[in-house]
Amino acid sequence: MGEKLYDTAETEERIILVGVATSSEEEVEASLEELEELGQTAGAVTVAKVIQNRERIHPGTYIGKGKIQEVKELAEQYHADSVVCDDELTPAQYHHLQEELEIKVIDRTVMILDIFARRASTSEGKLQVELAQLRYRASHLVGERTELSRLGGGIGTRGPGEQKLEMDRRIIKERITMVRRELQQVQRTRDLTRKKRQENSIPVVAIVGYTNAGKSTLLNHLTNAGVLSEDKLFATLDPTTRKLELENGEELLFTDTVGFIRKLPHHLIQAFRSTLEEAKYADAILHVVDCSNPDMTVQMYTVYETLSKLEIGDKPIVTAFNKIDRYEADEALKDLRADKTVRISAKYGNGMEEMLAAIRDVLRGNKVLLERVFPYEEGAKVNRLRKYGQILEEDYRNEGLYIKAYLDREFLYLFEEAEEKQKEPWEE
């Protein structure tokens, strides 16, 4: 008697994408293409796309009655499992649309949260994803009504925030409080790590950019970081910091941050604020742009808009136009918001020296070169100068120790003022 075999492979979820064009249909088409990529990353296959032109999104059902019927027929024709809307649905839209279509309805936010749930590997990442999921569920609890204990598999049913689907608002609120408390502890640890980095005076460069622009590939090329690098959206979720020693002995710390995306859910920006704030405390920002992407301009705008939401606008910026080996247009590559721009290929290593030179230039924009001979009895000053400055040269001479170093302008001002007062600036 032969043994019965069971297929345990996860079947691909078949989805229909739906968007509403209130102004430019081309923008919605591009957004749905990105949503299709998100679906692929989440393990789904897109079987149809529907766009409705309207003056405004329908307040009750997202799309009009005619389009609802069209989507319903397409779902039957292609045996679709889910309908994915390109905008975040209100509780009423979610409830009414699911009632009309009689299949699972999710939105862009749920899709992104599902991918984040898959990608999170560290305890902090998992906590941040759970917090975003809980906040989303709390705001949409009324819309789920009898579907609170949503059963079945597929997108939107995975992750650390899915373990108690029957949670009511009170339980969700209590869990949010607990997760926040745990994240605050993680935040304190991150702050201590960041403070130690600042005390070491090694400049920190935060790598930011649209998702799949090549940030992780670049970090791997520079520092052999071993970060997961795939041609998928949000391949890397947890931040990674690695040190790079330049040929002249200078050191730089590069921090890879989570990729940005258009219509990035508010819940995620809030949950990942501590991670994204790595850019806020960096000395410079390296903005990686996929110049081979036809939506490059929109993606650059999305990155700067997200940085603005995080109140990060005062950092020197080097924009690296990546994937230059695939750039075929004749137009010049420009970023008017950047202090410097370079062309690179993170995959093949082209333009790395020019990029590092540009980073060094912008980092020194707020620094001054100090050359001074310190009497040997002022060893304490020299030690603190080593700690807070960037030493380029030291030479032991008869009259004392010759130091050549870069210092922040503010620090130099305090230092020279202290010379007059015979007081150490770090004692202020």
User: Which pTM value belongs to this model?
Assistant: 0.73
Same domain, 262 and 392: no
Q: What DSSP character marks residue 423?
A: -
Same domain, 31 and 163: yes
End position of a domain, from candidates 192, 223, 244: 192
**What's the rounded mean pLDDT across residues 198-203?**
69
CA distance 182 to 128: 10
Is the pLDDT confidence value at 191 over 80? Answer: no
Same domain, 344 and 381: no
Residue 334 lies in a domain: yes
CA distance 21 to 25: 5
Same domain, 23 and 43: yes
Is the pLDDT confidence value at 164 over 50? Answer: no
Same domain, 164 and 187: yes
CA distance 242 to 140: 40
Helix (H) or strand (E) holding 208: strand 204-209
Residue 290: give its domain's CATH number: 3.40.50.300
pLDDT-derived band at 126 (thresholds 50, 70, 90) equals confident
Report helix, strand or coil for 28: helix
Same domain, 309 and 381: no
Same domain, 260 and 335: yes
Residue 2 lies in a domain: no
Residue 389 has, within 13 A of its CA and on its CB side, a CA count of: 27
Residue 5 lies in a domain: no
Residue 380 or 320, more confident: 320
Same domain, 32 and 145: yes
Residue 422 lies in a domain: yes
Strands 44-53 and 82-85: unpaired
CA distance 311 to 237: 21
Same domain, 127 and 263: no
Residue 88 lies in a domain: yes
**What's the rounded mean pLDDT across residues 69-75?**
95
CA 121 distance to own-chain centroid: 15
Residue 268 lies in a domain: yes
Residue 224, token pair as written in the block: 């052999």
Angle between helices 108-119 and 123-139 (to 10 degrees): 160
Same domain, 278 and 393: no
Segments in 232-339 forming alpha helices (H): 266-271, 273-276, 296-309
Residue-wise pLDDT for 243-282, tens only, equals 888 877 778 889 887 788 888 777 777 666 666 767 777 8
Residue 291 lies in a domain: yes
Same domain, 277 and 391: no
**Contact in structure between 279 and 287 (CB atoms under 8 Å):** no
Same domain, 205 and 351: yes
Helices then strands, each counted (H, E), the chain: 14, 13
Its domain, for residue 72, covers: 11-192
Looking at the structure of the chain, the number of domains it has is: 3
**What's the rounded mean pLDDT across residues 37-60?**
92
10 Å Cβ neighbour count for 121? 12
**Contact in structure between 258 and 276 (CB atoms under 8 Å):** yes
Phi, psi of 285 (to 5 degrees): -115, 130
Residue 99: give its domain's CATH number: 3.40.50.11060
Residue 178, token pair as written in the block: 């607990």
Mean of pLDDT over the chain: 80
